[in-house]
Amino acid sequence: MTATADGRLDPEYDSEPVAVGGLPPALLSAGRWQPEGSAEAAPAGRTEQQQDGAASAEEALARATTHLLSLQSSEGWWKGDLETNVTMDAEDLLLRQFLGIRTEEQTKATAEWIRSHQREDGTWSTFHGGPAEISATVEAYVALKLAGDDPSAPHMMAAARWIRSAGGIAAARVFTRIWLALFGWWPWERLPEMPPEIMFLPKWLPLNIYAFGCWARQTIVPLTVVSAHRPVRPAPFALTELHTDPDDPFPVRPLAPATSWDGLFERLDKALHAYHHRALRPLRRLAVSQACRWIVERQEADGCWGGIQPPAVYSLIALHLEGYELDHPVMRAGLASFDRFTVHTPDGQRWLEACQSPVWDTCLATIALVDAGLPADHPALVSAVDWMLGEEITKRGDWSVQRPSLAPGGWAFEFENDTYPDIDDTAEVVLALRRVAHPDPAKVAGSVDRGVRWNLGMQSKNGAWGAFDVDNTSTLPNKLPFCDFGEVVDPPSADVTAHVVEMLAEVGKARDPRTRRGVEWLLRNQEADGSWFGRWGTNYIYGTGSVLPALVAAGVPAEHPAIRRAVRWLEDRQNTDGGWGEDMRSYEDPARWAGRGESTASQTAWALMALLAAEEGPDGRANPAVDRGADWLVRTQLPEGTWDEPQFTGTGFPWDFSINYHLYRLVFPVTALGRYLHGSPATGRPTTGPAAIGASR
**Total Cβ atoms within 10 A of residue 285:** 13
DSSP state of 188: G
Of 62-71, 82-91, 157-166, 300-309, where does mean pLDDT reach its minimum?
A: 300-309
HSE at residue 291, side-chain half, CA atoms within 13 A, is 37
Q: Quick one: 555 and 622 in the same domain?
A: yes
pLDDT for 100 beyond 90: yes
Mean pLDDT score of the chain, rounded to an integer? 89
Task: pLDDT band for 615, please (50, 70, 90 cuts).
Answer: confident
Q: Could you tell me if residue 485 is inside a domain?
A: no
Instruction: Note the pLDDT tens digit of each residue in 5-32.
Output: 333 323 333 333 333 333 333 322 323 3
* Euclidean distance between CA atoms 224 and 528, whole angstroms: 42
Q: Could you tell me if residue 465 is inside a domain?
A: no
Q: Quick one: 76 and 164 in the same domain?
A: no
Residue with the larger pLDDT of the pair 246 and 81: 81
Instruction: Note the pLDDT tens digit of each residue in 266-280.
Output: 888 899 899 999 999
Q: Quick one: 285 and 370 in the same domain?
A: no
Q: Quick one: 75 and 94 in the same domain?
A: no
**Three-class SS state of 472:** strand
How many structural domains does the chain have? 2
**Three-class SS state of 342:** strand
* Euclidean distance between CA atoms 648 and 654, whole angstroms: 12
Instruction: Note the pLDDT tens digit of each residue in 355-378.
Output: 999 999 999 999 999 999 999 999
Task: Check 398, 424, 425, 656 and give the catalytic one.
Answer: 424
**Strand-pair partners of 2:** 10
* Euclidean distance between CA atoms 304 and 314, whole angstroms: 11
Instruction: Note the pLDDT tens digit of each residue in 585-599.
Output: 999 999 999 999 999
Of 242-251, 608-617, 645-654, where does mean pLDDT reach its minimum?
A: 608-617
Query: What is the crossing angle of helices 214-229 and 281-297, to 10°?
Result: 140
Which pLDDT score, from 0 to 100, does residue 51 have? 55
- Domain-ending residue, one of 323, 352, 381: 352
- Across the range 278-292, mean pLDDT stands at 95
H/E run at residue 659: strand 657-661
- Across the range 640-664, mean pLDDT stands at 96
Of 42-51, 175-184, 406-415, 417-426, where does mean pLDDT reach its minimum?
A: 42-51
- Across the range 681-697, mean pLDDT stands at 39
Q: Quick one: 323 and 409 in the same domain?
A: no
- Across the range 170-191, mean pLDDT stands at 96
Q: Could you tell me if residue 643 is inside a domain?
A: yes
On whether the CB atoms of residues 521 and 463 are closer than 8 A, the answer is yes
* Euclidean distance between CA atoms 636 and 602, whole angstroms: 12
Q: Quick one: 405 and 344 in the same domain?
A: no
* Euclidean distance between CA atoms 230 and 59, whole angstroms: 60
Whether 149 is a known active-site residue: answer no
Q: Quick one: 283 and 305 in the same domain?
A: yes
Nearest of 317, 312, 308 to residue 354 by alpha carbon: 308
Residue with the larger pLDDT of the pair 418 and 25: 418
Q: Could you tell me if residue 488 is inside a domain?
A: no
Task: pLDDT band for 511, please (50, 70, 90 cuts).
Answer: very high
To 5 degrees, how large is the angle CA 366–CA 372–CA 376? 55
User: Which value, in Å, is the radius of gyration of the alpha carbons in the chain?
Assistant: 26
376 phi and psi, to 5 degrees? -65, -20
Task: pLDDT band for 519, please (50, 70, 90 cuts).
Answer: very high
Q: Could you tell me if residue 573 is inside a domain?
A: yes
- Across the range 622-642, mean pLDDT stands at 95
Q: Could you tell me if residue 292 is inside a domain?
A: yes
**Three-class SS state of 355:** strand
Task: pLDDT band for 682, please (50, 70, 90 cuts).
Answer: low
> 648-668 burial, b if ≥16 CB within 10 A, otherwise e?
bbbbbbbbbbbbbbbbbbbbb
pTM of the predicted structure, to 2 decimals: 0.89
Residue with the larger pLDDT of the pair 47 and 242: 242
Which pLDDT score, from 0 to 100, does residue 44 have? 42
| Domain membership of residue 539 as a residue range | 2-81+356-458+493-694
How many residues are there in the chain?
A: 697
pLDDT for 489 beyond 90: yes
pLDDT for 616 beyond 90: no
The burial class, CB within 10 Å (0-12 / 13-18 / 19+), for 459 is buried
Alpha-helix runs per DSSP H in 230-280: 261-278
Instruction: Note the pLDDT tens digit of each residue in 245-256.
Output: 988 888 888 888
**Strand-pair partners of 352:** 342
Q: Quick one: 323 and 415 in the same domain?
A: no
Q: Could you tell me if residue 481 is inside a domain?
A: no
Q: Quick one: 20 and 94 in the same domain?
A: no
Q: Quick one: 207 and 303 in the same domain?
A: yes
Q: For 413-445, what is the HEC assignment?
A: CCCCCCCCCEHHHHHHHHHHHHCCCCCCHHHHH
- Across the range 630-641, mean pLDDT stands at 97
Q: Quick one: 333 and 364 in the same domain?
A: no
Q: Could you tell me if residue 474 is inside a domain?
A: no
**Strand-pair partners of 10:** 2
Residue with the larger pLDDT of the pair 45 and 233: 233
Q: What percent of the chain has pLDDT over 90?
A: 80
Task: pLDDT band for 262, please (50, 70, 90 cuts).
Answer: confident
CATH of the domain at 299: 1.50.10.20
Q: Quick one: 334 and 370 in the same domain?
A: no
The burial class, CB within 10 Å (0-12 / 13-18 / 19+), for 374 is buried
- Domain-ending residue, one of 314, 336, 352: 352
Ordered DSSP codes for 288-300: HHHHHHHHHHTB-
pLDDT for 61 beyond 70: yes
- Domain-ending residue, one of 285, 319, 352: 352
